[in-house]
Amino acid sequence: MKSKVLLLLLILGSVLTSCSSSKSVSGKMYKKNAHASYYADKFNGRSTASGEKFSNSKLTAAHRKIPFGTKVKVTNKANSKSVIVEINDRGPWTPGRDIDLSKRAFMDISDNKNHGALKVSIEIIK
């Protein structure tokens, strides 16, 4: 009986830890002081460099070097809010910018919805 209870507790603990929020997810630091911007609405429906159709309502991003399909955690340095996005495009091509976020991802971590750029950190999740 004790072994069954122990087994149940181990399974329950495993399930609960796998359902954690993005704030507790950590990975390999890619860049501590990066600049993020977001896509304009005019890009909705256009093809990305990976071939997917772009949607500002998804949690995606563009980066010049990180491979397509890679999940990255982007954390706003000003308020510590973070979001996990999937790289599906190349860019940004504006000098000084390191990552372009979908509008949804950007707004999820921004306090001031009227700004178009943030200082962030980027971690590789998988």
Report pLDDT digits (tens) over 49-76. Answer: 999 999 999 999 999 999 999 999 999 9
Question: What is the residue extent of each domain of the chain?
Answer: 23-124
Instruction: Using a cut of 0.75, tell me whether the model's pTM lies above it.
Output: yes
Is the pLDDT at 9 greater than 50? The verdict is no
Q: Does domain 23-124 have CATH number 2.40.40.10?
A: yes
* Amino acid 116: pLDDT: 87
> Who's near 74: CB < 8 A, 6+ residues apart?
36, 61, 82, 83, 84, 85, 99, 101, 105, 109, 120, 121, 122
Tokens matching residue 76: 């706003």
DSSP 100: E
50 by DSSP, 3-state: which?
coil
Which residue blocks in the chain are alpha helix, DSSP H? 2-18, 103-109
